[in-house]
Amino acid sequence: MPKGFALILSAPSGTGKTTLIKLLRENLPDLKFATSHTTRQIRAGEKEGKDYFFTSKEDFESKIKNNEFLEWAEVHGQYYGTSLKSSEEHLENGYNNIIELDVQGVKSLRKLEYSGIYIIILPPSMEELERRLRKRGTETEDSIKRRMQNGRAEVKNYKLYDYVLTNEVVEDTVNDILSILQAEKVKASHYRPTSPDIEAILKDGAD
């Protein structure tokens, strides 16, 4: 079975990432999500194992020691990490896999030359980002400040990504991602012969 694609997705906190991922999963049933681990508090409406695996600092640090993470980083004063097992398992089983990361995580993956489609989702403006964060009503003033600061760092690093999408209307952003995935599927590097006669031609090698 051919391996799936990893979709590496970053979005400053408050960009509308949760809704976006929900819509993507509805549109693409074979899209899996590498649930990250975090030491931050669970928010109202979040589910253990679906949004994150919520763990203690001690447990997270022991996972770091046991090399259980593809990458991990401290974001907004809390640990966040992508489990090596869940991300690789999905790809090996032929599924496309979303890995959601902050910019530090993306830097780590680029250093590892981790193969994937790197996408950053930006808000239409920083003013709008702050408005959305405040509207959410889940963050303290200090946490809003930190998230805005982190958001600015993500905007600055947009060149680390293959695609930059501005999330104005979430349905349009979903359609953009579906188009990107469609284009990736038909890339020459992903072509697999569809019949024995084509396979025989390809075995002959290029002219």
**Which residues of the shown chain bind ligand 5GP in the complex (CB under 6 A)?**
10, 13, 36, 40, 71, 73, 75-76, 80-82, 100-102, 104-105
> Which residue number, 63 or 102, has a Cβ lying nearer to ligand 5GP?
102
Smallest separation, CB 92 to ligand 5GP (Å) = 19
> Which residue number, 71 or 123, has a Cβ lying nearer to ligand 5GP?
71
CA–CA distance, 5 with 193 (Å, rounded to integer): 19
Per DSSP, helices labelled H in the chain are 17-27, 57-65, 84-92, 103-111, 126-136, 141-156, 170-185, 196-203
Smallest separation, CB 90 to ligand 5GP (Å) = 14
At 166 the three-state DSSP class reads strand
Element (H, E) at 100: strand 96-100
**Rounded to an integer, what is the distance from CA 170 to the centroid of its chain?**
16
Matching residue, tokens 């790809």: 91
Smallest separation, CB 46 to ligand 5GP (Å) = 8
> Which residue number, 48 or 207, has a Cβ lying nearer to ligand 5GP?
48
> Which residue number, 3 or 146, has a Cβ lying nearer to ligand 5GP?
146
> Which residue number, 52 or 95, has a Cβ lying nearer to ligand 5GP?
52
Give exposure, 100-128, as e/b (b: 16+ Cβ within 10 Å): bbbbbbbebbeeeebebbbbbbbbeeeee
Smallest separation, CB 12 to ligand 5GP (Å) = 6
Residue number with the smallest Cβ distance to ligand 5GP: 105
Smallest separation, CB 191 to ligand 5GP (Å) = 32
CA–CA distance, 137 with 125 (Å, rounded to integer): 19
Query: What does DSSP assign to residue 194?
Result: S
